Structure 1
């Protein structure tokens, strides 16, 4: 939806055109229902309308105009000077990302909240109730409508017919590349010689004399694509600093996919750098931006994006980070938690199938695997999808090599393993998590078992305090042997020394302090057992019972330490005497009188 105007708003009808008008002269429209006790009254607030409109396919909440037709401009002080804050707050509270803007007529201000359409299969709720508009009211969604929504399958936009598009409007160079890549991938040189109409038909881009949206996106001439589907463009923005908001340069790519993808990579690569990594006499370079990772990220954005939304794909390139943002959240069934494990169903299945058949991608749903595999294998931070939501996928890729040794180790392991045992993406993710000391509960038990079999990790601790570390080979390889021994199971002497060190500074401690000292090394039960033993041996003194107990060094133990310290001091003095008898004699001999 493009920004609406006051003239258009005046002619809209509330129920037919999905718009709600509120006067709100004094800026008194409630944000979240405030202190109103009745649920039906609480819903008639900004969050209630945003939720209902989103559920119904999008719409407008207009504050500062009368609800009588034709709608007169009244003017409002609603969220005056704080429109950006309101937009951010709505997103934080609902997960819906509206557009807010102010319109003016004769200096009278109108606030427009433009609500997007919900993703397929997704229902939004206000105070745990899915809302819909019924006349003037906001009412709980009927079971029938609710069930229909959550059972929705996303339509394949790429498979739909692009009415009026002709073969003459397709780019000859793009078709040539399609033929060439398909013939190489399928090992079928004769495919290049087939008429355009036949190859388009064979690939289901041309059905019953009509071209599909996939043909438009992959092959249409630049001017046709710009006219028919302007949101298919890719915007590449350069910034010299990650904190910078305005871009230093912006390039639009409006070409069909088969021409766009190579030009886009070449443009990104102009500003690419690399880091030399040395393994003995062998030196190799790791690029800031790995070509396969960037291509897969763009391929994913193009095949998974929602072309019904008006925003284009945006790539933000910084010196050492690159972001890829596309419209439409993760496909149905995919979340941040299962992103790697769940085979994704592309939102544009036909488009994805063409890229697979032409060798652009290996198989549908494998792109994220490659992104993780290459990024972690190069010792870089995990790809970051955490800023994604129901309306956008936001991928952040770091160019910084955080752990060169890990990159070299993975490279070495892969060279030594037989072809059928080489590390998978899930094994590399698990190795990386163990390197970062992730708790056992966050590790994939199946991958842990495989890594134990390959002797790439070791199991330490017992019962609830089991933990895993990278194998000794890793620490030998990285020349960090001391670190390996520091990660071993903790013994009673280490427990005692750690507790003594803590109490020498803090004097008293609670059980939770001791548990915190040995986090991931000992379970709470094991810590309690050792502390009780120190109490029974009169090293620690316990005051109080249960959760209110505090511990300190016992007076008897402090006296023992003082006696030992004094004995040690005397012993050191005696040793000095024996080692330096001449110095001692000269000190004891009286001086001659002058």
Structure 2
């Protein structure tokens, strides 16, 4: 069961001298900028912390130590409030290539931690027409939000530290204590339960987050926008939250698809809209609670339905796919986008065949500009992606959804 907010409890021995005044001033500037409240400028440090509910009856809360504490103070009163960064070039066991222990207030090291990660943040490229776009392996918004979530929601009654492990193409964040009561991997986007409410509310006040409880949504949205895998919580148990963020771009064509949408249209997407688009991109079933969003995206033409009955599938809107193809003048880009369109066309033909299936020769007749080997290669890709199945061999083989 959930206990009282540990971060709101006071630390009897701690005093204002245990906090870094520069971090408090940073908090003041951020809070004033967010609220346009000029009265915050003239408040004493004690009054500022009191108004932020980080000091109660002249005593500092543990939230104040987590956000502003000096290294010496945390060593005395809350040694587990540290983040350990490791860089590893491979999965091989042994010491990390780099290890840094951040045991001080979060506002004192949050930028340094991101800068350390960004030093080895390889840039991936994708081409859209004449333009080549750079996509960092690790998205700054998602990474900062994930680290902030770990600091805000970890269990400070647990003696362990937060670990941030960076690899060339993935980032692991492990924080002590499992999910708060009522939170699971299935509902984490829709349920809110801040374990350390006082820390979370202070972060909202100073604008580190727009609204408490929205961190997981932002992380998921950023992953989908960059055509990356969704965060993986498979290592989570009752004693730790273990999240893996994969930085590899999965589908450059999806990025080109998004590039063709109006900016206002993309800005209006909700988390549920993004999840529908991601499910369609991966050819996965649409969850029941996303059906209303699916219907809206179908009405807007962003998604189309092909086939009927059991063979029915959803694909990205062909209007935007064809627009992508038309605006990709380089040979390589045109070939890749054309490949995407042909695969969708083959998929539609197979879906329309229903239980009868379709033979290779029939599929070849529908694509007269392609050789037999080219059609076979595309079918093999669809097979590897789990989007089609084949029954029989050689000329007797038939293809099904």
Question: TM tier, shorter chain?
Answer: 0.7 to 0.9
Contact 1:222–1:255, Cα closer than 8 Å, also in 2: yes
With over 3 angstroms needed to count, the CA separation of the structure-2 counterparts of 1:471 and 1:494, relative to structure 1, is: farther
Q: Distance in 1 between matches of 2:355 and 2:185?
A: 43
Among 173, 179, 185, the alignment partner of 1:324 is 173
Q: Distance in 2 between matches of 1:387 and 1:499?
A: 47
1:492 is displaced (CA, Å) by 6.8
Q: Distance in 2 between matches of 1:242 and 1:283?
A: 32
Q: Deviations over 1:358-389 (max 9, x none)?
A: 00011111111111111111111111112111
1:494 is displaced (CA, Å) by 6.4
1:493 is displaced (CA, Å) by 10
Contact 1:430–1:443, Cα closer than 8 Å, also in 2: no
Q: Distance in 2 between matches of 1:225 and 1:293?
A: 27
With over 3 angstroms needed to count, the CA separation of the structure-2 counterparts of 1:492 and 1:282, relative to structure 1, is: closer
Contact 1:440–1:467, Cα closer than 8 Å, also in 2: no
Stretch moving more, 329-338 or 274-283: 274-283
Equivalent position of 1:359 in the other structure: 207
Among 353, 360, 363, the alignment partner of 1:491 is 353
**TM-score normalized by the length of structure 2:** 0.83
Q: Distance in 1 between matches of 2:259 and 2:392?
A: 45
Contact 2:308–2:352, Cα closer than 8 Å, also in 1: no
Q: Work out whether 1:189 is the aligned partner of 2:189.
A: no
Give the alignment of 1:277-292 within 5 angstroms.
Answer: 277-292=126-141
Q: Work out whether 1:445 is the aligned partner of 2:291.
A: yes
Structure 2 counterpart SS, 1:369: helix
With over 3 angstroms needed to count, the CA separation of the structure-2 counterparts of 1:408 and 1:227, relative to structure 1, is: farther
Structure 2 counterpart SS, 1:297: helix
Structure 2 counterpart SS, 1:417: helix
1:394 is displaced (CA, Å) by 0.9
Q: Deviations over 1:545-567 (max 9, x none)?
A: xxxxxxxxxxxxxxxxxxxxxxx
Among 158, 181, 184, the alignment partner of 1:335 is 184
Equivalent position of 1:394 in the other structure: 242
Q: Work out whether 1:408 is the aligned partner of 2:256.
A: yes
With over 3 angstroms needed to count, the CA separation of the structure-2 counterparts of 1:291 and 1:329, relative to structure 1, is: same
With over 3 angstroms needed to count, the CA separation of the structure-2 counterparts of 1:360 and 1:393, relative to structure 1, is: same
Larger Rg: 1
Among 350, 353, 368, the alignment partner of 2:198 is 350
Give the alignment of 1:133-148 within 5 angstroms.
Answer: none
1:266 is displaced (CA, Å) by 1.2
Contact 2:80–2:161, Cα closer than 8 Å, also in 1: yes
Q: Distance in 2 between matches of 1:498 and 1:355?
A: 59
Structure 2 counterpart SS, 1:276: strand
Equivalent position of 1:429 in the other structure: 275
With over 3 angstroms needed to count, the CA separation of the structure-2 counterparts of 1:192 and 1:490, relative to structure 1, is: same
Q: Deviations over 1:245-304 (max 9, x none)?
A: 531221001121111111111111112121233222333311111111111000000011
Contact 1:414–1:423, Cα closer than 8 Å, also in 2: no
Contact 1:234–1:252, Cα closer than 8 Å, also in 2: yes
Structure 1 counterpart SS, 2:359: helix
| Count of aligned pairs | 358
Q: Work out whether 1:383 is the aligned partner of 2:245.
A: no
Among 243, 246, 257, the alignment partner of 2:106 is 257
**TM-score normalized by the length of structure 1:** 0.57
With over 3 angstroms needed to count, the CA separation of the structure-2 counterparts of 1:493 and 1:228, relative to structure 1, is: closer
Q: Deviations over 1:145-177 (max 9, x none)?
A: xxxxxxxx3321110111111112211111111
Equivalent position of 2:387 in the other structure: none
Q: Work out whether 1:198 is the aligned partner of 2:47.
A: yes
1:307 is displaced (CA, Å) by 0.3
With over 3 angstroms needed to count, the CA separation of the structure-2 counterparts of 1:452 and 1:262, relative to structure 1, is: same
Q: Deviations over 1:508-535 (max 9, x none)?
A: x9xxxx9xx63xx4xxxxxxxxxxxxxx
Equivalent position of 1:274 in the other structure: 123
1:464 is displaced (CA, Å) by 4.7
Q: Distance in 2 between matches of 1:285 and 1:485?
A: 30
Q: Work out whether 1:461 is the aligned partner of 2:307.
A: yes
1:498 is displaced (CA, Å) by 6.9
Contact 1:475–1:484, Cα closer than 8 Å, also in 2: no
With over 3 angstroms needed to count, the CA separation of the structure-2 counterparts of 1:172 and 1:492, relative to structure 1, is: closer
Equivalent position of 2:3 in the other structure: 154
Q: Distance in 1 between matches of 2:354 and 2:84?
A: 60
Give the CA RMSD over aligned residues.
Answer: 2.5
Q: Distance in 2 between matches of 1:163 and 1:263?
A: 30
Equivalent position of 1:482 in the other structure: 342
1:504 is displaced (CA, Å) by 4.9
Q: Distance in 2 between matches of 1:505 and 1:283?
A: 42
Equivalent position of 2:383 in the other structure: none
1:506 is displaced (CA, Å) by 11
Structure 2 counterpart SS, 1:277: strand
Unaligned runs of 5+ in 1: 1-120, 122-152, 522-594
Among 138, 141, 150, the alignment partner of 1:301 is 150
Q: Distance in 2 between matches of 1:370 and 1:290?
A: 11
Q: Distance in 1 between matches of 2:358 and 2:173?
A: 51
